[in-house]
Structure 1
Amino acid sequence: MAGNTGTPGATVTGRIMAILGAFDDHHARLALTDLARRAGLPVPTAHRLVGELVRHGALARSGDGYVVGRRLWELGLLAPIESTLRETAAPFLHDIHAATRATVHLAVRDGREALYLERMAGRASVPVVSSVGSTLPLHATGVGKVLLAHAPEDVRRAVLASLARVTPYTITQPGRLNEQLGQIRRVGYATTVEEMSLGACSVATPVHRRGQVVAAIGVVVPTLRRDRGRLAAALQVAAQGISRQLAALPPA
Structure 2
Amino acid sequence: MQRALRLLEAVADHVDGAPAKQLAREAGLPLPTAYHLLRTLAHEGYLRREQGVFVLGEAAVRLAGTGARHHRRGMITDCLEQWRDAIGVPVYFALYRDGEIELVAVAEGPSSPAVEEWADFRDTGHAHALGQCLLSQLDEESRRDHLSRHPVEPLTPNSVRDRGLLLKRLAATERQRPVVEREEYAIGSVCAALPLRVGSTVATMAISLPVEEEHRLLPAVDQLRRAVGGLPTSLMFSISI
Q: TM class by shorter-chain length?
A: 0.5 to 0.7
Moved over 4 A (4+): 78-85, 110-113, 246-252
* Percent of pairs with identical residues: 21
What displacement does 1:229 show? 2.4
Q: Give the aligned partner of residue 12 of structure 2.
A: none
Q: In the aligned structure 1, how far is the partner of 2:87 from the partner of 2:168? A: 29
Matched, 1:157 2:147: no
Q: 1:140 aligns with which of 107, 111, 127?
A: 127
Q: Give the aligned partner of residue 160 of structure 2.
A: 171
Q: In the aligned structure 1, how far is the partner of 2:237 from the partner of 2:96? A: 22
Q: Give the aligned partner of residue 92 of structure 2.
A: 105
Does the 8 A contact of 2:94 with 2:205 survive in 1? yes
Q: Give the aligned partner of residue 216 of structure 2.
A: 227
What secondary structure is seen at the aligned counterpart in 1 of 2:215?
A: coil
TM-score, normalising length: structure 1: 0.56
What secondary structure is seen at the aligned counterpart in 1 of 2:175?
A: helix
What displacement does 1:239 show? 3.3
What displacement does 1:250 show? 11
> What stretches of structure 1 of length at least 5 have no aligned partner?
1-74
Matched, 1:240 2:209: no
Superposed CA RMSD in Å reads 3.7
TM-score, normalising length: structure 2: 0.58
> Residue type of the partner of 1:189?
P
Q: In the aligned structure 1, how far is the partner of 2:67 from the partner of 2:141? A: 26
What secondary structure is seen at the aligned counterpart in 2 of 1:182?
A: helix
Q: In the aligned structure 1, how far is the partner of 2:239 from the partner of 2:207? A: 29
Does the 8 A contact of 2:72 with 2:239 survive in 1? no
Q: Give the aligned partner of residue 129 of structure 1.
A: 116
What secondary structure is seen at the aligned counterpart in 1 of 2:173?
A: helix
Does 1 or 2 have the higher relative contact order (CA < 8 Å, sep 6+)? 2
What secondary structure is seen at the aligned counterpart in 2 of 1:220?
A: strand
Equivalences, count = 176
Q: Give the aligned partner of residue 66 of structure 1.
A: none
Q: Give the aligned partner of residue 101 of structure 2.
A: 114
* Residues 125/92 of structure 1: CA separation in 2 closer, same or farther (3 Å cut): same
Does the 8 A contact of 2:196 with 2:202 survive in 1? yes
Does the 8 A contact of 2:130 with 2:206 survive in 1? yes
What secondary structure is seen at the aligned counterpart in 2 of 1:230?
A: helix
Larger Rg: 2
Does the 8 A contact of 2:95 with 2:201 survive in 1? no
Q: Give the aligned partner of residue 59 of structure 1.
A: none
